[in-house]
Structure 1
Amino acid sequence: MFDTFIYYLKIILQGLPNTLSLGILGILSAGLLAIILSCLLSLNSYALTKAIRTYIILFTGSPLLVQLFLIYYGPSQFSGTLSKVPALYELISSPWFCAYLALTLNSAAYTTQIFYGALKSLPQGQWQACEALGMDKKQTLKVILPYALKRALSTYSNEVVFVIKGTALASMIPVMDIMGYSNQLNSDYYDFSIFIVAGLVYLLINGLLSTIMRIIEKKSLKFEN
């Protein structure tokens, strides 16, 4: 039994680099995009606000799996046109890149809501103090954004975990990540314990990430204690 567990674990861990690269890069890209979108929302431009709100509704209102399929299989409908740009065609034909793009866009939509909510929840006095000093909105954002992001960490840590769990869907397009190798093993052995092993690996990754996020949050909000 133990030998079987180790055998499954060795095979499944071959997908760890893809899972981690998708998760970590997706988290970083989504976080950066969310910061930009949150700042744009704070500028109260009608056109920008409508565009960003539409994007958020589309990506929070539809399943990640559907988004993966659309991003991966959708461009193939225009393969004749896209093939004229080899670099672009190669990029959008990559399952890993399509999974990364879907995770980034999906997570950025949720993260924008978190970061923008943190900005809106700041005491109005902070905005007014910056305004009294003659700062415009862009300058004010530079001052209060770091504080708002620190306050959003506790909620954002949940989104970080969701992104890692979301990488499991990448095997559907297909990407050979942890779930990709798990599915491959299952097709050979039809053993449910394969997915127990995969689940334990995900549990370990998310446990480490949650611990790291708690440490970052504690250090970031140390000034409040």
Structure 2
Amino acid sequence: MDIFLNELAAFAPAALFNIYFAAASIPIGFVLAVLFALGKGSPNPWISRLSRGYIYAFRGSPLFIQFFMFYSLALSLNISLWKPWGVSGWMLHPLFIGPVVLILNTAAYSAEIFYGALRAVPRGETEAARAYGMSRWQQFRSVTWPNMIRLAWPAYTNEVVFLFHATAIVYFALPVIDNQMDLLVTAKSRFEKDYNTFLHFSVAALYFLAVSLVVFFLFGLVYKRLMRHMPVQPRMRFAPKWIR
């Protein structure tokens, strides 16, 4: 038991890096996803094609390769890795490149989710808002956006959890600087010392499960808030026929 508790304490600093990558990527990725979803559904053909091309490029290529490509692009611009206080230093730092790539990746996947929800918004409600005399902005704010976010939220919750899981490959694709190791790299480094696969990777998995549980709980509260206007369905009751 003491060994397990010590292992949990040793992995705690590493979990902060995974949480940082996810927390830094979700807000900006959410905004970009909404913009690209609206752009894909735009009547302007240029905006629609650019949005579709971006979504296809990042959904069609592996995240691991995207990390390598962005890091190689930074190196090709002759940005030095050994200037931590200069502009050229932090642009190559994993704490900067990691969130940037994750933002661009999750924006593409989330945009497809929001676009599907946008297409599912009842047309009758938008027509009623137009007949009521609302402007396009008022239609979006009062009708399109509330319906879109309600329809997309369950699938977007899964995307956020997938994004958190994807943080496990950041330090596999990017160099480890100043012992900044996340959960998976920490488990790998400790495994190389004693070859105890079950202990180290199980503790890493427990941290992923714990954070995922928190994400599901918080996003579930948001979904309840979004659906507060709907009547609460009664719980199912199971009882033998002779009791009824």
- TM-score, normalised by the number of residues in structure 2: 0.83
Partner of 1:99: 98
Verify the 8 A CA contact 1:39 1:141 in the aligned structure 2: no
Change (3 A) 1:47 1:81: farther
Partner of 2:72: 73
Q: Which amino acid aligns with 1:69?
A: F
> 1:36-72 CA deviation, whole Å, 9 max, x = no partner?
2223333321111111111111111111111111112
The separation in 1 between residues aligned to 2:80 and 2:168, in whole angstroms, is 31
User: What is the 5 A alignment of 1:17-96?
Assistant: 17-79=16-78, 88-96=87-95
Task: Quote the offset at 1:191 in angstroms.
Answer: 1.6
> Which structure has the bigger radius of gyration?
2
The separation in 2 between residues aligned to 1:147 and 1:89, in whole angstroms, is 44
Partner of 1:210: 216
Partner of 1:5: 4
Task: Quote the offset at 1:145 in angstroms.
Answer: 0.8
> What RMSD in Å do the two structures reach over aligned CA positions?
2.2
Higher normalized contact order (CA 8 Å, seq sep 6+, divided by chain length): 1
Partner of 1:198: 204
The separation in 2 between residues aligned to 1:8 and 1:157, in whole angstroms, is 30
The separation in 2 between residues aligned to 1:195 and 1:93, in whole angstroms, is 29
The answer to which of 107-116 and 177-186 deviates more is 177-186
Aligned length: 222
Gaps of 5+ in 2: 232-244
Verify the 8 A CA contact 2:81 2:92 in the aligned structure 1: no
Task: Quote the offset at 1:135 in angstroms.
Answer: 3.9
Gaps of 5+ in 1: none
Q: Which amino acid aligns with 1:67?
A: Q
Task: Quote the offset at 1:130 in angstroms.
Answer: 2.6
Verify the 8 A CA contact 1:72 1:95 in the aligned structure 2: no
> 1:86-128 CA deviation, whole Å, 9 max, x = no partner?
8542232111211111111111101111112111101111221
Change (3 A) 1:6 1:81: closer
User: What is the 5 A alignment of 1:129-144?
Assistant: 129-143=128-142, 144=144
Determine which of 189, 192, 199 is the counterpart of 1:187: 192
The separation in 2 between residues aligned to 1:224 and 1:71, in whole angstroms, is 45
Change (3 A) 1:87 1:129: farther
Verify the 8 A CA contact 2:106 2:159 in the aligned structure 1: yes
Q: Percent identity?
A: 26
Change (3 A) 1:203 1:81: closer
Please give the secondary structure, in 2, of the residue aligned with 1:224: coil
- TM-score, normalised by the number of residues in structure 1: 0.90
